[in-house]
Structure 1
């Protein structure tokens, strides 16, 4: 869509340039002979004005097509970024939940194994969970900084 709009704008700009260069500046009944695609015709000043108006309208349509295509692409890109950020946040929440359950399981097993060993296992599991959460949080922040650029 953007390419078609750009081609339309460039083509009409070239056509307007050719018409401008062929104009002698004489505003008589006949505007002169114009040859286009192998056909020759002699428009009046009024016809030249109407042709210019139509060319301007087509130029605006081309610009509209160009900018609407660019806007649509930008909206899609922003939606994809939002979806990626939501997925990363969900992954981080699931990792935290998993680590919490793993810590609780380790505490339960430690309680069953004995009080002395229980304390060491619980502390080791908590330290591992805290380290992993800190690492995941740092990764999430780095990903967030990269995705906002």
Structure 2
């Protein structure tokens, strides 16, 4: 759409330039012969004025098309930029949530590992106590045997 508007503007500017260069008479006087794209036309000043007015109207239409296309393109770019910012914000939020969950999981695993270590220590302490009780019992039996002999 922008390219079509630009071509229309450039073509009409060329046509207006040709008409201006050939206009050297009064309003009703003949401008002379105008050649455009292989066609010859004898125009008066009034006809050149009307052609200029039509060219100006078409120039405005071309400019409207040009700026309309540029505006649509800018709106699309802005929408894409907003969507990209929203995606980045969502990715950042998800990353933060992931980091939080990873931290909580690591803490839970550490607590479980700590509980397992504590349970192992309790079992080791029980085993040591049981072994000491067994040794004490064995020593007590041996002491009783010795004392009864």
The TM-score with structure 2 as length reference comes to: 0.70
Question: Structure 2: which 5+ runs fail to align?
Answer: 119-149
Question: How far apart are 1:111 and its partner, in Å?
Answer: 1.6
SS at 2:31's partner residue?
coil
- CA deviation map 1:7-46 (0-9, x unaligned): 1111111111111111113333433222222222223333
What is the match of residue 97 of structure 2? 97
The alignment partner of 1:43 has SS state of strand
Cα distance in 2 for partners of 1:87, 1:40 equals 62
Q: Which residue of 1 aligns with 2:11?
A: 11
Indicate the RMSD between aligned Cα atoms, in angstroms: 2.1
- Deviations along 1:105-125, one digit per CA (max 9) or x if unpaired, are 11212222226x89xxxxxxx
User: What SS does the aligned partner of 1:42 have?
Assistant: strand
Q: Which has the higher strand share?
A: 2
Partner of 1:21: 21
Q: Is the 8 A contact 2:28 2:46 kept in 1?
A: no
2:74 counterpart residue number: 74
Tell me what 2:33 maps to. Answer: 33
Distance 1:75 1:41 in 2: 45
**Structure 1-normalised TM-score?**
0.70
Structure 1 unaligned segments of length 5 or more: list them: 119-149
| Greater radius of gyration (CA) | 2
